Amino acid sequence: MNQQTIEVVVLENGQAPPTGTTTPPRKPKWHDTINYIGNPDNFCRQNREKYGPCFKTGVFGGTTVFVGSAKAIQMAFNGDLKYTEIALPPTTMDMFGPYSLFQRPDLHRQRKTALGPGLTGRALDGYTPQIDETIGRGLQDWSTPSSIALYPAVEKICFDVLVPLLLGVSLNDSDRATFEGLPVSSKAELKALYKTYFDGFYGLLKWKSRFTAYGRGLKARAALIDFMRAVICRRWVEGPINPTADFLSMMLAGQQENPDGVFSDDLIENQCLLQLWASHYEISALVCSLIYQLGRHPQVVQRLLEEQAEVMGIQSNVNRFEPEHLKQMLFLEATIKETLRILPPSTTANRRLTKSVVLDGVLYEKGWVLIAEPRIANMMADHFHKPELFDPDRFGPERGEGKMYQFIPFGGGVHACLGAQMTMIVTKLFASHLLRLFDWKLTGSAQFVQFPLRKIKDDYQIDIVRRV
Ligand code: HEM
């Protein structure tokens, strides 16, 4: 990947910035938070058009600078331990707990390096048959012809895919052994706890009560940790751990090998929880957005069908997708990236400047918060040719758009998403099965929930017909 060298001048306390230094344009306004949360797309577009890619706002109080140019994003993403700290509300940090990758910058690299092998590379190839089977089975249950509510239908399948992979628990409700000895007795209960936990991340009132999202979220978190503790006990009793079976097993095997290493009991329980949190709603949102975009662009569907036939051969009844097949689906990969560019599910965490810095003659003051917004970076004409067009070919080898720090649906730099490869595999498998099984039509324009995650609203329906 191309990476420009940038020179960030870090100012010591009391040190004056070089003469001629300016600050990003625009004054923070008291209503910025309402406008941003109400419609982040409009907020980012209007301000970018008026002020350029970097501008000051009053989002979340104080001075928050939105950064959208590649250089400023690079500066924001790589300041850990030097001039930035993660600046999330205390409620959100409590929900993460002390074992997240955001909490301890001093341990970040060590923890991330240890977790990586369970979410990338060969481990993912090993998970592929299970993901493939679960998605294929889930989609078989979609009865046709019919109208289905897209998000709930997709989310249901994603949960079935991700829980076994990340928590190491099978989700077969009809088998009594599934939840035996565990403090949660059904898939529905587990899912409900997860939803409450997720909602707790965005409860801004730090009041532990059943009347606040924060209070309910913390309670759900404690219940989920108890659940993981019981799952882990059961795992040890069941016998030898296969390190490549799932993410949990990778960590348990790591603990067995080095009991004093990174993988303490607490870290393992928390990481299972956090990775499901990080992945489930994001992937569900992405898959829905992909289905939606394909519904709007039949010519792209046609090319995807041709690619599927080319990769899978003429046996149109083939229903097993191997890692090697997925690697050859380059146009599908480009289409998923283009969906992530136009409809990025999330933004990145906020960073607070612990020191003033100067980049290219622009001063970013100590105490200000930086937000790198894909809604800005992914839509800049400096980064993408005709950015308003849905054009997967921009990610093809000839054009090679989507460079580091210009295309940031998965963040970048020190905290770059650890689940980008897994996301690609699940989404490719979902799309491949869908293309094989169904034709679908949209029912008009979809409304999206925009915050905290961008996702199609629950009641949006598509019409599906099984392919002959
Ligand atoms: C559509 C899917 C996903 C999207 C859009 C997404 C987005 C992001 C973004 C924007 C960040 C950077 C946050 C920042 O720098 O402030 C991030 C970090 C992270 N993501 Fe994802 N993510 C997705 C899926 C996943 C999955 C599947 C996993 C794991 C199973 C995962 C695990 C993580 C982790 C562990 C980090 C933190 C890395 C660190 O702090 O070093 N994500 N993700």
Which sequence spans correspond to the domains of the chain? 8-466
For ligand 1, the distance from its centroid to the CA atom of residue 127, given in whole angstroms, is: 19
Does the beta carbon of 349 sit less than 6 angstroms from any atom of ligand 1?
A: yes
Does the beta carbon of 92 sit less than 6 angstroms from any atom of ligand 1?
A: no
Mutate to test the pocket of ligand 1, among 418, 421, 425, 455 (most ligand atoms within 8 A of CB): 418
Nearest CA to ligand 1 atom 19: 417
Ligand 1 atom showing the smallest separation from residue 347 Cα: 10
Question: 16: buried, middle or exposed (CB in 10 Å: 19+, 13-18, 0-12)?
Answer: exposed
Ligand 1 atom showing the smallest separation from residue 427 Cα: 1
For ligand 1, the distance from its centroid to the CA atom of residue 138, given in whole angstroms, is: 25
Q: What is the pLDDT along the chain (468 residues), one digit of tens a residue?
A: 445 688 999 999 999 999 999 999 999 999 999 999 999 999 999 999 999 999 999 999 999 999 999 999 999 999 999 999 999 888 999 999 999 998 889 999 999 999 999 999 999 999 999 999 999 999 999 988 999 999 999 999 999 999 999 999 988 888 888 999 999 999 999 999 999 999 998 887 899 999 999 999 999 999 999 999 999 999 999 989 999 999 999 999 999 999 999 999 999 999 999 999 999 999 999 999 999 999 999 999 999 999 999 999 866 556 789 999 999 999 999 999 999 999 999 998 899 999 999 999 999 999 999 999 999 999 999 999 999 999 999 999 999 899 999 999 999 999 999 999 999 999 999 999 999 999 999 999 999 999 889 999 999 999 999 987
Does the beta carbon of 362 sit less than 6 angstroms from any atom of ligand 1?
A: no
Nearest CA to ligand 1 atom 36: 417
Tokens of 222: 């404690």
Does the beta carbon of 427 sit less than 6 angstroms from any atom of ligand 1?
A: no
Backbone Cα Rg of the chain: 23
Nearest CA to ligand 1 atom 17: 417
For ligand 1, the distance from its centroid to the CA atom of residue 164, given in whole angstroms, is: 19
Nearest CA to ligand 1 atom 13: 348
Q: Which residues contact 282 (CB under 8 A, 6 or more apart)?
A: 345, 346, 419, 423, 453
CATH number belonging to domain 8-466: 1.10.630.10
Does the beta carbon of 284 sit less than 6 angstroms from any atom of ligand 1?
A: no
Ligand 1 atom showing the smallest separation from residue 276 Cα: 30
Residue 451: predicted pLDDT: 85
Does the beta carbon of 69 sit less than 6 angstroms from any atom of ligand 1?
A: no
Residue 1: predicted pLDDT: 44
Nearest CA to ligand 1 atom 29: 419
Return d(Cα 312, Cα 317) in angstroms, integer.
Answer: 10
For ligand 1, the distance from its centroid to the CA atom of residue 27, given in whole angstroms, is: 31
Does the beta carbon of 47 sit less than 6 angstroms from any atom of ligand 1?
A: no
